[in-house]
């Protein structure tokens, strides 16, 4: 057993649910960490003795960000597609095929190195838990490879064979659906915690409500939890399908009807908002404040991917959610930590309470407000407590 007291904390944000905003923010507090877990939180003057002391010099400390939606196993570059989109070419999901071709052509070691670099980039910006999806392989072998590599960096791995229908199956979607719900799922399930589907009638490459239902039901029967990409490109069935099937999360939620909001408020599915996608595709931002008002549980994540949001930055996402989606700085921080942990059905991350993982993020700033107040400035990083 080795213990560390983290002292000199300016503002401690615990996201323990205390206070009207749930942030549990306090000053003058210290945190004692033992063997990677939070062992004690209280006034610094009352902190128990520890083997080691780390003084953060008046900086704010908060739970490490939980990025609950990311596509990190890919090769290739789509900067030209982004530039074309900014020049007026609309997004329809077709560019995913470019990443599929590059990913299939990459070696294991190349993909492993790309993945490691992206995870390190996230950690350097304060993210300590990340969900990683497959979905750029779209063959049995390539999907299993992506999940196997993802498992090397996180336990939150998601089988997304139903990302798009690959080009070689464009003339026979039913055959691809049989593959995704049959042999591909069977091979992928041992490496995955979740199954996900791009349910989007507005894209010819993605999946209809009926197809998405088949993917999710098969995934559930294989023992996986459910996640859905829904309502990204226009109004659609994804949100209500996710709620009906008890999915842990429905992600994007860019276009929501009143009935969608009512369904979310009545169900247990978290609405995961991805404002980096609206930014990178010049789409309208959903009204996150209205969702909170309606009683919907929300989360924030990056959707880091080579097409619609190649940003790994949770601070950027937080700033966008405050500026463009109506959240207060505190609401955005909560959604990016405890909220996104909830979307992963985790209670050991995303908040700092005794027994939780000691995933601490430190800001070169006195309070969490600076994450959105100082947008674009690299003030957040995961605190490394290893000796
Ligand atoms: Zn996504």
**How far from 58 is each of 40, 196, 318, 353, 373, CA to CA, in Å?**
19, 42, 22, 21, 18
User: Which among 71, 229, 96, 223 is positioned nearest to 154, based on CA atoms?
Assistant: 71
Ligand 1 centroid vs 49 CA: distance in angstroms?
45
Ligand 1 centroid vs 135 CA: distance in angstroms?
9
pLDDT at 95: 86
User: Which among 7, 5, 25, 6 is positioned nearest to 15, based on CA atoms?
Assistant: 25
pLDDT at 21: 87
Residue 186 tokens read as 């069977």
For 261-310, write each residue's pLDDT tens digit. Answer: 999 999 999 999 999 999 999 999 999 999 999 999 999 999 999 999 99
CA quadruple 215, 218, 219, 221: dihedral, nearest 10 = 160
Percentage with pLDDT > 70 across the chain: 100
For 29-51, write each residue's pLDDT tens digit. Answer: 999 999 999 999 999 999 999 99
Ligand 1 centroid vs 97 CA: distance in angstroms?
14
Ligand 1 centroid vs 365 CA: distance in angstroms?
31
The C-alpha atoms of residue 347 and residue 353 are separated, in whole angstroms, by 10
pLDDT band at 233 (very low <50, low <70, confident <90, very high): very high
Ligand 1 centroid vs 334 CA: distance in angstroms?
21
Ligand 1 centroid vs 237 CA: distance in angstroms?
17
Ligand 1 centroid vs 146 CA: distance in angstroms?
15
Taking residue 224's Cβ as centre, other Cβ atoms within 10 Å add up to 21
For 173-202, write each residue's pLDDT tens digit. Answer: 999 999 999 999 999 999 999 999 999 999
Asked if the model's pLDDT at residue 387 lies above 70, the reply is no
Ligand 1 centroid vs 251 CA: distance in angstroms?
7
Asked if the model's pLDDT at residue 19 lies above 90, the reply is no
CB 378 within 8 A of CB 370: no
- Using a 10 angstrom Cβ sphere, with 0-12 exposed, 13-18 middle and 19 or more buried, the burial of residue 305 is buried
Ligand 1 centroid vs 18 CA: distance in angstroms?
32
81-98 mean pLDDT: 87
Ligand 1 centroid vs 195 CA: distance in angstroms?
12
pLDDT band at 85 (very low <50, low <70, confident <90, very high): very high
Asked if the model's pLDDT at residue 93 lies above 80, the reply is no
**For the chain, what is the mean pLDDT?**
97
Ligand 1 centroid vs 107 CA: distance in angstroms?
23
**Which residues contact residue 217 at a Cβ distance below 8 angstroms, ignoring those fewer than 6 apart?**
245
pLDDT at 20: 84
Ligand 1 centroid vs 71 CA: distance in angstroms?
6
Ligand 1 centroid vs 229 CA: distance in angstroms?
6
pLDDT at 286: 98
DSSP β-bridge partners for residue 31: 6, 41
Ligand 1 centroid vs 385 CA: distance in angstroms?
31
Ligand 1 centroid vs 86 CA: distance in angstroms?
20
| C-alpha distance across the termini of the chain, in Å | 13
């Amino acid at each position: 057993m080795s213990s560390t007291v983290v002292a000199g904390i300016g503002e401690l944000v615990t996201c323990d649910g205390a206070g009207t905003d749930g942030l549990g923010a306090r000053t003058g507090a210290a945190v004692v960490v033992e063997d990677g877990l939070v062992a004690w939180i209280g006034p610094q003057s009352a902190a128990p003795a520890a083997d080691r002391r780390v003084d953060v010099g008046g900086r704010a400390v908060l739970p490490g960000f939980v990025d609950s939606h990311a596509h990190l196993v890919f090769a290739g570059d789509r900067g030209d597609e982004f530039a074309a989109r900014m020049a007026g070419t609309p997004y329809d999901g077709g560019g995913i095929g470019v990443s599929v071709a590059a990913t299939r052509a990459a070696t294991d070691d190349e993909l492993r190195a790309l993945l490691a670099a992206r995870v390190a980039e996230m950690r350097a910006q304060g993210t300590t838990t990340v969900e990683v999806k497959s979905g750029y392989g779209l063959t049995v072998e390539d999907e299993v490879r992506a999940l196997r590599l993802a498992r090397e960096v996180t336990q939150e791995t998601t089988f997304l064979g139903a990302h798009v229908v690959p080009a070689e199956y464009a003339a026979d979607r039913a055959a691809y659906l049989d593959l995704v719900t049959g042999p591909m799922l069977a091979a992928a399930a041992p490496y995955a915690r979740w199954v996900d589907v791009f349910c989007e009638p507005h894209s010819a490459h993605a999946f209809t409500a009926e197809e998405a239902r088949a993917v999710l039901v098969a995934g559930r029967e294989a023992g996986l939890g459910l996640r859905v990409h829904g309502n990204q490109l226009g109004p659609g069935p994804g949100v209500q399908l996710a709620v009906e099937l008890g999915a842990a999360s429905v992600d994007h939620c860019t276009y929501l009807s009143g009935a969608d909001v009512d369904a979310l408020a009545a169900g247990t599915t978290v609405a995961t908002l991805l404002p980096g996608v609206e930014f990178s595709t010049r789409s309208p931002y959903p009204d996150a404040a209205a969702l909170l008002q309606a009683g919907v549980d929300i989360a924030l994540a990056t959707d880091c991917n080579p097409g619609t949001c190649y940003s790994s930055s949770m601070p950027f996402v937080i700033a966008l959610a405050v500026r463009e989606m109506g959240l207060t700085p505190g609401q955005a921080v909560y959604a990016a930590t405890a909220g996104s942990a909830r979307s992963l059905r985790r209670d050991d991350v995303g908040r700092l309470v005794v027994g939780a993982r000691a995933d601490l993020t430190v800001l070169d700033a006195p309070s969490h407000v600076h994450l959105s107040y100082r947008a674009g400035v690299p003030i957040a990083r995961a605190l490394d407590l290893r000796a």
